[in-house]
Amino acid sequence: MASANRFEGKVVVVTGSSAGIGRASILRFAKEGASVVVHGQSKEKLESVKKDLLGLKVDESRILVIAGSLEDEATQNRLIDETVKRFGRLDILINNAAIPGKAGCDPNSMEGFDAVMIVNVRAIYRLIQLATPHLEKTKGSIVNITSDLSERPMTGSMPYSISKAALNHLTRNFARLLAEKNIRVNAVGAGLTETDFITRMGMPKEAITHIFTEVAKTIPLQRASNADEQAEMIVNIASPTNTYMTGSIVFNDGGIRIGN
């Protein structure tokens, strides 16, 4: 059983933590003693997460909220700079934020491709570069959130699937590069999860219902996961008690890649 305070004294940044898997993860880190940096774009959702953290008796001094889009380098800078300014250190970076496509355009268009790659790959690459000097001091950890779609085609939205495949190899490359600095880099490949992420793909309500009923039946475990199940994996991989894993892509997908 995990210690109730294994993250005490640690500082954790979770991008895209105003909802879904990121939100579930930030709450778990805080419950176990971490000071946390909450990030998102919706003021309402960010305020809701902060309210939940305070409801867990997390002292306000352990909470930093940063709003902004990750396609903006200024937001990337603030995530690292304001974290270190506020807490004096950085121990764990969870690269969770991603977009399924660009609203109002064909997902497979070049415009859609560029939008997805900027957020899902380039922003993560740059955030890791910015965070490295601070993580080196703490012998920290990075966890990138990828997807089972990194290993399966998704012709309806190819850039998303391609971006997650790129993220897998980005993870391996940075793990090799940063091993000499004692920074661990791993990834969690989340499977179909009950969050609003698919809704943001712009699919009709009927198509979304079909995914969570009929498509979910093709998963060997016969269901979608929930955000807490993904957060459990993320937190355990990021844990300071997990000292020897690096360069690994751990799929938490109900077995979808092995078929039914």
Q: Which residues are known catalytic residues?
A: 160
Q: What 3-state DSSP class applies to 252?
A: strand
Q: From CA 160, how far away is CA 120, in angstroms rounded?
A: 8
Kindly give the pairing relationship between strand 249-252 and strand 63-67.
Answer: unpaired
Cα angle, residue 66 at apex, residues 120 and 239 outer, rounded to 5°? 70
Instruction: Please state at what angle helix 73-87 crosses helix 123-138, rounded to 10 degrees.
Output: 20
Q: What 3-state DSSP class applies to 104?
A: coil
- Asked if 191 contacts 222 with a C-beta cutoff of 8 angstroms, the reply is no
Return the amino acid letter for 118.
I
List the strands of the sheet with 11-14, edge to edge: 63-67, 35-40, 11-14, 92-95, 141-147, 184-190, 249-252
Q: Which residues of 122-139 are buried (b: 16+ CB within 10 A; e: fewer)?
A: bbbeebbebbbebbeebe
Kindly give the pairing relationship between strand 11-14 and strand 92-95.
Answer: parallel
